Amino acid sequence: MKTYLDCIPCFMRQALSTARLATTDEVKIKNVLNTVGVQVKDIPMHLTPAETGQIVYREVKNVTGVIDPYKSLKKAHIAEAKTLLPELKNMVEQSDDPLLKAVRIAIAGNVIDLGINKTFHLVEDIKKILNQDFAIFDYDSFKQHLGNAENILYLGDNCGESVFDKILIEQLQKPVTFAVRSAPIINDVTLKDAIDSGLDEVARLMESGCVAPGTILSQCTEEFMEVYNNADLIISKGQGNYEGLSEVDRPVFFLLKAKCHVIAKDLGVHEGDIVLKGINIEAE
């Protein structure tokens, strides 16, 4: 997915909110906005928003010296999500369709997104999503691919959400590689965060090579690309991964909540909708 004009004011907003997490020094915060502002003219609009977003977070690091402004928030969200784990697992076990319940829970976890200009209320939002209709619902195809798959690549998104992913991975009952970013970016899950989320207990963990808040194949390591190219099923969580993979030629199932109108428009759904969308799934 390319960068839309609407993404540009959003980059400035993200620059401000991230800079504020990194420092309380208003001069430094203004300097972040200054440097991002100057770079607007150089934004290649054919690249994905995730790649452009990377510039924003790099400038926060350059100006403030803070490498991981979301560190304590990530830790808090993982801890908060973990407190919900027993109840959520119980819901899955009691369900008539445990796989679908786990899919819904994994999408519900996607509300934890600090790059987005929305506040979220974890428990309330989860309850809502557990009963929300899907705007795109390729569930039959998902089940079919899952049944045939011998190995699965699962692309992680945010911290906290990662705990919810564990529930879905357990339900997949297949060997899963869980891919993470190779450096801290927004509140996206890194290797350390994945371990903190308990994902090492249910999946092989792997850094993708990406330092953008998404899966950008041109940034990925050879090792990751081998897994990517040989996976029978790819599960992609969240907006950033969708931005990088919406036009690839591999079978990918996107699980996400459309949290901004740009992504919603690109998907052909409404803002706030939840989606289980498969691409390149007919030929399988």
Strands (E), the chain: 134-137, 152-155, 176-180, 204-207, 233-237, 252-257, 274-279
Nearer to a copy of itself, 40 or 79 (CB): 40
> How is 139-188 classified by DSSP, letter by letter?
HHHHHHHHHH-S-EEEE--BTTHHHHHHHHHHHH-S-EEEEE-SS--TTB
Per CB under 8 A, does 6 bind a copy of itself? Answer: yes
| Both structure tokens of 168 | 């879905």
Q: Which of 2, 12, 73, 139: binder of a copy of itself (CB under 8 A)?
A: 12
Least distance to a copy of itself, CB of residue 271, Å: 13
Q: Does 33 bind a copy of itself (CB under 8 A)?
A: yes
Q: Is 143 left (phi over 0), alpha (psi -120 to 50) or beta?
A: alpha
Question: Which of these segments, 5-13, 102-110, 161-169, 195-203, binds a copy of itself (CB under 8 A)?
Answer: 5-13
* Residue 28 in contact with a copy of itself, rule: CB under 8 A: no
By CB under 8 A, residue 13 contacts a copy of itself: yes
Strand partners, 277: 254
The structure tokens listed for 69 are 């402004």
Size of the site for a copy of itself (CB under 8 A): 21
**Residue 199, both tokens:** 């994902």
Of the pair 35, 144, the CB lying nearest a copy of itself is at 35
Residue 268 touches a copy of itself, criterion: CB under 8 A:
no
Is residue 30 at the binding interface for a copy of itself, with CB under 8 A as the rule?
A: yes
Q: Nearer Cβ to a copy of itself, position 121 or 261? A: 261
The interface with a copy of itself within residues 69-108 (CB under 8 A) comprises none
**Tokens representing 171?**
């339900």
Candidates 2, 21, 39, 238: give the one binding a copy of itself (CB under 8 A): 39
Can you tell me the distance from the alpha carbon of 105 to that of 91, in angstroms, rounded to the nearest whole number?
Answer: 10
Which phi and psi angles does 167 have, rounded to 5°?
-65, -45
Which member of 2, 22, 44, 45 binds a copy of itself (CB under 8 A)?
A: 45
The contact set with a copy of itself (CB under 8 A) reads 5-6, 8-10, 12-13, 15-16, 26, 29-30, 33-34, 36-41, 45
